[in-house]
Structure 1
Amino acid sequence: MGYKTIFHIDDDDDDIDFFATAVNQLSAAVSYFSFTNAGEALQKLVTGETPPDVIFLDLNMPVINGQEFLLRLKTIESLQDIPVIILSSSSDPYTIEQLKTQGAIDFLTKPSGIKELINLLRPYLI
C-alpha cells in the first residue's frame, strides 16, 4: 500500500518507541507522527495541518479510547476516508468484527518482538 504519512495513536510511550523503530527500519521516506492522547490527535486532524495517509490506533486508552476515536473520526466528513488500522493487544473476534463494521480497514495484534512488528507493518509501508 505504501502509506507515506502515518499517525500512530497509543498511550504507551514504550509502544510508540517500538512502533517508531519498526517504521524507521522499514522506510526512511515515511513521515511519522505519534500521539499519546487521542483527543490531541483528533484536534490535529480537524485542523488539517498534516493529513495522514493512514492512522494506526490503539484501543485501550484513557479519556478517549480507540473505538470512540474511530467513531468520532468517521462522523467528520473531511476525515472519514482516512484508513484506520487498529493495533492492539486485544484480539477478541467480536470486537475485531465490530471495529471493522465501524470503519477500521484492518486489525493487527501487537507483537512482542521488533521483527514481528516489522513484518506486520511491511505491507502497509512498502
Structure 2
Amino acid sequence: MGARTKYRKRALDVLFESELQGLEAGGSLTERLVTNEPPINPYTVTLVEGVAGTRDRIDAIISEHAHGWTLDRMPAVDRNLLRLGIYEILYVDDVPDAVAVSEAVSLAQELSTDESASFVNGVLSKVVDLKPTFSA
C-alpha cells in the first residue's frame, strides 16, 4: 500500500468516525492529532480539513449525481469515500483525477459492499467528466 493510499485511508477513518460520533465532518481530527495513534500525516489533515471546509458543496454534487441514492441512504463508507474523491478531483491539483478515482474505488472494494466500487466509480467518473463545468 502506497503512502498516499494510507493517508487517504486514515482520512476516511477520521471522517467516518466523526460521522458515527455525531460530530461535524472531521470533528475527531483534533483528538487523533493529540493521540497520534495511528500516526496522522499532513496529507491526511489536508484531506480531512478540505472535505470539512467544502462539505456542503461536495454533498450537493453527490446528491445531484448519485442517481437513486440520497446521502442518508448510502453506506457511510461510500458517502465519505465520495467526499474524499470529489475533494481530490476538484481541489488537489497534484493528484491526477484518474488516481483519485482509482484510489476511492480500491478503498470501496476493500471496505464496503460488493456494489460499492462500481457505484463510487460511476459517481466520481461523472464528476471528472463535469469538472470543467464546476466553478472553484
TM-score by length of 1: 0.33
> Which has the larger helix fraction?
2
Q: Which has the higher contact order (CA 8 A, sep 6+)?
A: 1
> Which has the larger strand fraction?
1
TM-score by length of 2: 0.31
